[in-house]
Amino acid sequence: MKISGKTRVCGVIGDPIEHTLSPVMHNAAFEELNLDFVYLAFRVRREELREAIIGARSLDLQGLNVTMPHKNAVMRYLDEINSTARSIGAVNTILNDEGRLMGYNTDGVGALKALEENGITPNGKKLILLGAGGAGKAIAFHAAREVEELVILNRTPQKAKKLAEVLRKEFNKKINGDALSTEIMKEELRDADILVNATSVGMHPDIDQSLVPPSSLRTDLCVMDIIYNPLETKLAKDAKAVGAKVVSGIEMLVYQGAASFEIWTNHPAPVKVMKQAVLNKLSELGAHH
């Protein structure tokens, strides 16, 4: 990588940030396409978010990813917000368009693309989504366009019900929100086609946890877990054991990254290279298989 006076800077802001895999993924992509770009991680504290965005504009950064805890708060400092990101109420990608900062959300796009690239068409299917938080919400908005039926289950049922109501109005489909309980899940899973875990249950270090009773998993179900550390969550292992189709969290990470990459560079993202870079980094870190 040669840094010059013309090198464009992209980055990610969040707190904590040192565990992010985005620099590895994006720098591999820039290198692959021979683009004069570099990607860095910036730790930005909550109370310094406004200054950070002003700084990004002043330093003429090309673009930023936004991660916890800034995805909502950052919106008020941007010049324009894409309609999907506005509906979701969260931004994970910023483009600096000649001094105008534009906000996007690529989480939902990434999740759907991960399913489609693994041969799963959400069209006409019943999808169960666990979690109505940031990523859950983004996935819900994109899934609602495609699927026949959407069930959102959340620990705070109110949050799921509210989100379902908004989506029902917007997409006029069979969309329901309910409590994340074993009974309700068992019932809904009976005729579901796709199950997506968008909660943090099963994430390192709690790698032996799963919200889904193994007895409710079936061969003809597709399961996607958005967690990528461990590489294979308990939910993914249980699903594999019954012969269900499993899509790993790495896929969503890569496809949401690819969407950001395309917003910043106007080049098709080298997805294979990005995925390999992430996998290499995780094995180097001794990710928990």
Q: Which of these, 171, 75, 53, lies nearest to 122 by C-alpha position?
A: 171
Which of 243, 262, 122, 102 is closest to 194 using CA atoms? 122
Which phi and psi angles does 227 have, rounded to 5°?
A: -75, 135
Angle made by CA atoms 120, 124, 127, in degrees to the nearest 5: 65
Is there a catalytic annotation at residue 71? yes
Distance CA 121, CA 43 (A): 38
67 phi and psi angles, rounded to 5 deg: -125, -170
Cβ atoms within 10 Å, residue 17: 17
The residue from 71, 125, 137, 234 that is catalytic is: 71
Q: Are the CB atoms for 154 and 139 separated by under 8 Å? A: no
| Backbone Cα Rg of the chain | 19
Chain mean position to CA 74: 17
- For CA atoms 217, 218, 224, 228, the dihedral sign is positive
The residue written with tokens 């990588």 in the block is: 1
Could you tell me where the DSSP H helices lie in the chain? 22-32, 49-58, 83-88, 107-117, 134-146, 157-171, 182-189, 234-241, 249-265, 271-284
Return the active site residues: 71
